[in-house]
Structure 1
Amino acid sequence: MDFKNNVGGTGATPALASSSLKSDALFAKIIEEVSKNPAKAKSVNGVFLYNITENGKTVKKWTLDLKSGDVYEGEPKSGKADTTMTVSDADLIDIAAGTTNPQVAFMKGKLKISGNIMLAQKLGPLLKSEAKL
């Protein structure tokens, strides 16, 4: 892909893209669900860092500190994340919507996980269990 010669008005500028990601609504819902059921969130007992990317570059970071029941934008406030996940904004939405299987996304390289991968598996059922379609 040629970023230097990208002429035309089809792409958002990086500053605009980082402030209005589709996944922001997903994290807002996660914040809401964690605040409704903090005991369930704390039962996961892990700190997750999401690196949200666009065009291969990290544009936003979210932390799910499920040891304290806190979800916020940015890096972990103390220490480091138990599990770090790097995924594009669009792929994260597909995973959350159930149109992409997280394991398939991982195998295809769309979802990169470092740290405690087993802990990441505990996160999936927590997030899906409260979803009402």
Structure 2
Amino acid sequence: MSVQVDGFNASPFFQQLYDGLQDKSAVEKAVKAVNAIIIITLKNKEGKEQSWVLDLKKAGTLTKVDGNPPKGDVQLLLKDVDFVKLANGKANGQKLFMNGKLKVKGNMMKATAIESVFKQLDPRPKL
């Protein structure tokens, strides 16, 4: 299944995250660490919005959403370009939040656990 969406620079990263979720032991760790359903809503430079649902409560899955996103424990709203920086470790989630570039709806504590999960589930080799 593809979780990529045309026009979003974050698409390859979501695919990597999806691939990382195929590792059941990594999923167990992530579910224990986060225990939340996370909705990630990005806006690209054309102003188009796309949401993904990262279920780290039960299923350990990542799906793209067509239409309005469902209710989760926490929703992250940011620009596609900022998400890519965050995913690549070139931006800090706290700084993005403080500068108003990252909006969080729902459980703030769950939002803080997400960065470590991205690092854990990244299938790229660690240098």
TMscore range, shorter length? 0.7 to 0.9
TM-score by length of 1: 0.77
**CA deviation string 1:8-35 (max 9, x = no partner):** xxxxxxxxxx623110111111111122
Asked if structure 1 preserves the Cα contact closer than 8 Å seen for 2:42 and 2:51, the reply is yes
Asked if structure 2 preserves the Cα contact closer than 8 Å seen for 1:51 and 1:58, the reply is no
Q: Using the TM superposition, give the Cα deviation of residue 100 of structure 1 relative to its aligned residue in structure 2, in angstroms.
A: 1.1
Structure 2 counterpart of 1:111, one-letter code:
L
Greater Rg by CA: 1
The whole-number CA distance in structure 2 between the counterparts of 1:56 and 1:82 is: 28
Q: Using the TM superposition, give the Cα deviation of residue 130 of structure 1 relative to its aligned residue in structure 2, in angstroms.
A: 4.3
Root-mean-square deviation (CA, aligned residues, Å) is 1.7
TM-score by length of 2: 0.80
Matches within 5 A, 1:1-133: 19-36=6-23, 37-43=26-32, 44-55=34-45, 57-67=47-57, 68-74=59-65, 75-76=69-70, 80-131=71-122, 132-133=126-127
The whole-number CA distance in structure 2 between the counterparts of 1:42 and 1:99 is: 25
Structure 1 counterpart of 2:40, one-letter code:
Y
Structure 2 counterpart of 1:92, one-letter code:
F
> Which ranges in structure 2 are unaligned for 5 or more consecutive residues?
none
Identity %: 29
Higher RCO (C-alpha 8 Å, min separation 6): 2
